[in-house]
Structures are given as structure tokens and as C-alpha cells.
Amino acid sequence: MSDWLNLTDQQLLGTTYPVFIGVTLIFMCGCAVLMGREVARAWRPAEQIVPYALLLGVADRLVIFAMFGGEWRSPSGFAIDTGLILFAALIAHRLTLAAQMVRQYPWLYRRFLLFGWRKR
């Protein structure tokens, strides 16, 4: 248990914190938000986000490896990156779907909080 507490950023993420923030959080999560929005705009279910998120996770590891010399085969880095990408895409999907339901069917639904809608 104490081994996990002593991991450096390079061992845990497969790269440094600035590269993780720039590539994963800003660039790839931004791509994931766009992907989640487009899946929702096409009225596709959220399950279709998972394979796209896995592909973005692989692309994230490839960019980190090719441009910044990060670790290509870092299982923890891939899991963390892909988890954040999937989370960003699912949030964007739900937000877009809620807005779309209310906008397209205003006589049936009204907005409920941020992620939902209710019948009128």
C-alpha cells in the first residue's frame, strides 16, 4: 500500500504533470467534449461513447510518447487518461441531450437542474 503513496508523477501518469495537464486535460478532454456533444446531437446512446473514448485514450498515449517522450506502455497512465476522457465525454453527452430534449420538445419537457428534464 505504501508503494502507491511513493509514486512519482512519471511513474503514475507515464509523463510529467504539465504534459498531462496540457495534452490530456486540455487537448484530449476537449476532443472528448466535442465527441460527446456530437454523439448526443445524432441521438445516439451513451454506450457509443466508450469505443471512441478508448481510441482517444490510445491517441493520447501516442501524442505523449511521440511529442514529449512519455511512457507508451503505462497502464496506470492509460487508465487515468482514458477515464478522464470518458468522464468528459459522458458529461458533455448528458448536457447536450438535456438541452436538446427541452429545445426540440418544449411542449413536452422542461429543464430540470443541469443534466435532466421533466414532463410538463
Residue 44 has pLDDT above 90, yes or no: yes
Distances (CA, A) of 29 to 19, 24, 63, 85, 111: 13, 6, 14, 5, 26
Strands of the chain, DSSP E: 109-112, 116-119
Q: Average pLDDT, whole number, for the chain?
A: 92
Percent of the chain, pLDDT > 70?
93
How many whole angstroms separate alpha carbon 20 and alpha carbon 18? Answer: 5
Residue 5 has pLDDT above 80, yes or no: no
Residue 6 has pLDDT above 90, yes or no: no
Q: What is the pLDDT of residues 70-120, one digit of tens each?
A: 988 899 999 999 999 999 999 999 999 999 999 999 999 999 998 999 998
Mean pLDDT, residues 9-13: 80
